[in-house]
Amino acid sequence: MSVDRSSPMSSLISLVVPFYNEEESIDLFARTIMPVLAAIPGTEWEIVCVDDGSRDNTLQRLIALSERDSQFRIVELSRNFGKEAAMTAGLDAATGAAVIVIDADLQDPPELIPDMIDAWKNGAEVVLGRRLDRSSDSAAKRLTASWFYSLHNKLSKIKIPSNVGDFRLMDRCVVDALQRLPERQRFMKGLYAWVGFRTVTLDYVRAARHAGETKFSGLALWNFALEGLTSFSTLPIRAWTYLGTVGAICALFYGLFIVGRTLLLGNSVPGYASIFFAVTFFGSIQIVSIGMLGEYIGRIYMETKQRPIYLVRKVYGNIKR
């Protein structure tokens, strides 16, 4: 249920920040974010920091931060579950009338938060931050991101806004809707788009990472893209039915051609090259189709286990449940 934004209950807003091996970013993040939040009139803040099984001193620094400032709440996960699970844990822990998700690397500008609050108070239920300029990212990352958004939106009925990441504000009614979605294999950008609600988009220029290194390798980004494509579209697996049908029709016509040629010209000795090409080509198609089928079966297998999305080891601070 949406909260009346003019009531005192709407003064508490939650900031959800996932952390994984971000010890170099914590102090800078706190120094940058706190003045921005303090300058927004009529709001109280809880900053829910989710430690996603960090292997460095991230957790210790977060705990020290929460001891200095009671606005910080720390959710320690039992191991590394991945960013999608960490964001889910943060959304589950957040108690505010609105929730803002932001990364700790400060590539998403905290200075946009006041504008998000204004848009929310004016009736928006979701306020998206859209990257107007991604020159801080590598050319390869910009190109592959463009390909992914284009391909995903062509294959899926659920359209993901291009160049929109996890940086967004969501009303309590949106967060409640997300909590009703039970899937374990979570692609949060798709889930955000699936629930809908009244949406406003704010543009910003993406800055360079202030500290630390990105945790997404090329392989991780590929797996993330594959997760997104298979989460919200069955077209990749359905395409093999169409491809098989076209191949069968072509094979039928080619067979009729061979029969006709044999009746008219006699039997000719087939060439090794054509046989080799046919076997390897269609064999490769079969392997790829089996692999795509395996992606969907694997998702079904993981969902049937009914395992929790994440496990919390300990909570530092008074987060309401």
Q: What digits encode the pLDDT tens for the residues 150-193?
A: 665 666 676 777 778 888 899 999 999 988 888 877 778 778 88
Same-domain status, 178 and 274: no
| CA distances to 17, 92, 237, 282, 299 from 240, in Å | 40, 39, 6, 12, 18
229 within some domain: no
Residue 305 burial by CB count (10 A; 0-12/13-18/19+): exposed, middle or buried?
Answer: exposed
What's the pTM?
0.66
| b/e burial code for range 74-94 (CB count within 10 A of at least 16 → b) | bbbbeebbbbbbbbbbbbbbb
- d(C-alpha 26, C-alpha 81), whole Å: 20
Q: What's the confidence (pLDDT) of residue 273?
A: 47
Give the integer Cα–Cα distance in Å for 78 and 75. 10
Is the distance from CB of 204 to CB of 136 less than 8 angstroms?
Answer: no
Contact 315, 89 (CB under 8 A): no
Same domain? For 206 and 98 the reply is yes
- What integer pLDDT is reported at residue 103 of this predicted model? 87
- Share of the chain residues as helix, strand and coil, in percent rounded to the nearest 5: 50, 15, 35
Beta strand segments in 143-294, E: 164-171, 199-205
Alpha carbons 178 and 97: distance in angstroms, whole number: 15
Residue 228 placed within a domain: no
CATH of residue 105's domain is: 3.90.550.10
**In whole angstroms, how large is the CA radius of gyration of the chain?**
25
Q: What is the pLDDT of residue 16?
A: 92
Q: Is residue 7 domain-resident? A: no
Residues 21 and 148 in one domain: yes
Residue pair 122/224 in contact (Cβ under 8 Å)? The answer is: no
Q: Is residue 5 part of a domain?
A: no
Identify the pLDDT of residue 305: 75
Instruction: Give how far the C-alpha of residue 279 lies from the chain's centroid of Cα atoms, to the nearest Å.
Output: 39
**Tokens standing for 109?**
């500008």
Q: What is the pLDDT at residue 77?
A: 92
Asked if residue 36 and residue 112 are part of one domain, the reply reads yes
**Token output for 54:** 């960090």
Say what the pLDDT of residue 321 is.
44
94 shares its domain with 239: no
Are both 71 and 196 inside the same structural domain?
A: yes
Nearest to 299 by CA among 240, 197, 223: 223
| pLDDT tens for the 321 residues of the chain, in order | 555 555 544 588 899 999 988 888 888 888 888 899 888 888 888 999 999 888 888 888 898 888 888 889 999 999 888 888 898 999 999 888 899 999 888 888 888 899 999 898 888 898 988 887 666 555 666 666 666 666 656 666 767 777 788 888 999 999 999 888 888 777 787 788 888 888 888 888 876 655 545 555 555 555 555 565 556 555 666 666 666 666 666 666 666 666 666 666 665 556 544 565 566 667 666 766 776 677 677 777 777 777 888 898 988 876 544
Q: What is the pLDDT of residues 299-320, one digit of tens each?
A: 777 777 778 888 989 888 765 4
Based on the fold, state whether residues 210 and 244 are members of the same structural domain: no
Do the beta carbons of residue 52 and residue 83 sit within 8 Å? yes
- Same domain, residue pair 95 and 181: yes
Residue 210 domain-assigned (yes or no): yes
Helix ranges, 164-234 (H): 172-179, 188-195, 218-231
202 domain-assigned: yes
247 with 201, same domain?
no
Q: Are 117 and 215 in contact (CB under 8 A)?
A: no
Same domain, 159 and 24: yes
Residue range(s) defining the domain that contains residue 288: 235-304
Count of domains for the chain: 2
Cβ atoms of 148 and 84 within 8 Å: the answer is: no
